[in-house]
């Protein structure tokens, strides 16, 4: 069940809000927990047990850590807890990749490969494991008080709006809301508006571009125009899909009076790679910074270690997205770019002017997304080869018959929407609502609803498309 589906919109969501607001305030965390577990079980009942195990294990381990004074025993308990939780992630996410890599190596040597049955990756595993890691480390560091209520902690872990694909919310950000939150009609309305905006981003834009991108990456010999169309298309599809999901998750949380952190801040308007990572998937970026980069030593142990830490952090970040050499390459690519940017600034050179810096950034980001989207490195190399092999500026006949005019128009509209915030106060509908005229205020409220209705019509005419980050 995904947010952009009739089952969610007309079955789960009405039942959830009916029961949630019917429940007395002091027991609403129970409603969140039970219905969020039901939401997860809708996909696979058997994997619900894994979510419950990770939740219970991290809760108990944190309580034990909290009881111990600082010292070796406390450190060992943290290491044990992290080993178990990350071990769960490693098994389900990387066992297939490890065995396949091993079998490829032994086959090349003429030996018999190991028999192996593919393991199914539980949906959302990466996200709720990272939340458990952040909670254990924060309790160990003493930066967040340990939860005394299993129901509150389990509800934090299981809130259905962020359970599957984030944002990666830290316990410290919700601990007060879990104890007490004030519901108002204004919060509910603003949350509903945010949800509808995310729905429009997903259904109207990302899902419309998706068939064109899939067609390009399925071509055995794409032309230069094909390859660039697919690369740019995926760059836009991924943003509107994932930023749309984040907006829907934040909106649903706001409807329940929770305050989730923002996850995107116009990343494609950045002027350099460091700024891009301060704006893209911000909850993952800060997790990698606070729990990995800093733990590795950050920039405290000399220039070489700083660059090595940047590279290793991003490679691990790439591998977190999936067990494939394409993600390792993507992480290495971004780690190298961040190291180069840091070296540039360390040499005393100032930032590039915005326009050339932005154009260079978008070029390297698009090139990175090619590997991120590719089925394997062979597919990625074929795309790169096509992108930089001079050829016709027209799409090939093999692609043209598969792409409809609305997909090309959507590609153009998505590009305009990405750059629209640059106009800021020059456009009335981009101003804060209180500074708008009456006409634009009505439009500010009505436009997302109109887009939502149009999205529902499109959703009825085509199958629901899963969010891209569900696979991670």
The dihedral built from the CA positions of residue 342, 345, 351 and 355, taken in this order, carries a sign that is: negative
Q: Which residues contact 11 (CB under 8 A, 6 or more apart)?
A: none
Locate the DSSP E strands across 348-470.
none
Splitting the chain (472 residues) into consecutive groups of 10 residues, what average pLDDT does each group show?
84 94 93 94 88 94 94 94 93 84 80 79 87 94 92 93 87 92 92 95 93 93 93 96 94 94 95 95 93 85 85 92 90 95 84 91 97 93 92 85 92 94 81 79 86 88 72 66
Tokens standing for 464? 């629901």
Q: Which residues contact 421 (CB under 8 A, 6 or more apart)?
A: 266, 269, 430
Compute the distance between CA of residue 243 and CA of residue 167 in angstroms, rounded to an integer: 10
Q: Locate tokens 């509150």: which residue?
A: 152
Question: How many CB atoms are located within 10 Å of the residue 117 CB?
Answer: 7
Q: What is the pTM of this model?
A: 0.91
Compute the distance between CA of residue 365 and CA of residue 235 in angstroms, rounded to an integer: 8
Q: What is the pLDDT at residue 472?
A: 65
Q: Which residues contact 309 (CB under 8 A, 6 or more apart)?
A: 293, 296, 297, 298, 299
Compute the distance between CA of residue 162 and CA of residue 80 in angstroms, rounded to an integer: 27
Compute the distance between CA of residue 280 and CA of residue 197 in angstroms, rounded to an integer: 18
Query: Cα 159 to the chain's mean position, in Å?
Result: 16
Q: What is the pLDDT at residue 408?
A: 93
Active site residues: 321
Q: How far is CA 254 from CA 164, 174, 186, 279, in A?
A: 17, 12, 10, 21
Compute the distance between CA of residue 178 and CA of residue 155 in angstroms, rounded to an integer: 8
Q: What DSSP line would sit under 153-192, residue for residue?
A: HHHHHH-HHHHTT-----HHHHHHHHH-----HHHHHHHH
Question: How many CB atoms are located within 10 Å of the residue 408 CB?
Answer: 15
Contact criterion met (CB below 8 Å) for 380 and 227: no
Tokens standing for 80? 């044990």
Compute the distance between CA of residue 35 and CA of residue 48 in angstroms, rounded to an integer: 12
Q: Which residues of 5-19 are buried (b: 16+ CB within 10 A; e: fewer)?
A: beebbeebbeebbee
């Amino acid at each position: 069940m995904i947010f952009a589906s009739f089952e969610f919109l007309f079955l789960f969501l009405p039942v959830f809000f009916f029961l949630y607001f019917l429940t007395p305030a002091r027991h609403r965390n129970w409603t969140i927990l039970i219905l969020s577990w039901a939401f997860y079980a809708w996909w696979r009942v058997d994997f619900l047990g894994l979510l419950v195990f990770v939740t219970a294990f991290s809760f108990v381990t944190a309580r034990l850590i909290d009881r111990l004074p600082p010292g070796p025993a406390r450190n060992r308990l943290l290491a044990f807890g992290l080993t178990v939780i990350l071990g769960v992630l490693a098994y389900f996410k990387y066992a297939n990749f490890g065995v396949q890599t091993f079998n490829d190596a032994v086959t090349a040597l003429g030996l018999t490969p190991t028999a192996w049955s593919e393991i199914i990756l539980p949906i959302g595993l990466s996200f709720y494991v990272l939340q458990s890691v952040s909670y254990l480390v924060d309790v160990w560091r003493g930066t967040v008080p340990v939860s005394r209520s299993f129901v509150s902690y389990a509800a934090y872990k299981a809130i259905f709006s962020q359970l599957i694909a984030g944002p990666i919310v830290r316990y410290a950000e919700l601990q007060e809301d879990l104890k007490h939150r004030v519901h108002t009609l204004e919060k509910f309305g603003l949350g509903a508006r945010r949800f509808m905006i995310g729905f429009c981003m997903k259904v109207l834009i990302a899902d419309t571009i998706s068939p064109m991108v899939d067609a390009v990456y399925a071509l055995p010999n794409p032309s230069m125009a094909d390859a660039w169309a697919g690369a740019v298309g995926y760059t836009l599809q991924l943003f509107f899909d994932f930023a749309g999901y984040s907006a829907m998750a934040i909106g649903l949380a706001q409807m329940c009076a929770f305050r989730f952190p923002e996850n995107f801040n116009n990343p494609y308007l950045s002027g350099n790679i460091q700024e891009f990572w301060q704006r893209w998937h911000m909850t993952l970026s800060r997790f990698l910074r606070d729990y990995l980069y800093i733990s590795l030593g950050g920039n405290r142990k000399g220039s070489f270690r700083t660059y090595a830490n940047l590279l290793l952090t991003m490679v691990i970040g790439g591998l977190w997205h999936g067990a494939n050499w394409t993600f390792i390459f993507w992480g290495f690519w971004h780690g190298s770019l961040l190291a180069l940017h840091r070296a540039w600034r360390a040499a005393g050179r100032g930032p590039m002017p915005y326009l050339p810096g932005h154009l260079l950034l978008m070029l390297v980001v698009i090139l990175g997304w090619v590997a991120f989207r590719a089925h394997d490195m062979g597919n990625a190399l074929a795309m790169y080869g096509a992108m930089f092999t001079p050829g016709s500026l027209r799409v090939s006949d093999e692609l043209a018959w598969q792409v409809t005019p609305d997909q090309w128009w959507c590609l153009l509209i998505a590009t305009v929407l990405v750059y629209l915030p640059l106009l800021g106060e020059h456009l009335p509908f981009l101003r804060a609502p209180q500074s708008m005229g009456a006409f634009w205020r009505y439009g500010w409220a009505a436009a997302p609803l109109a887009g939502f209705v149009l999205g529902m019509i499109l959703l009825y005419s085509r199958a629901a498309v899963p969010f891209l980050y569900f696979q991670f």
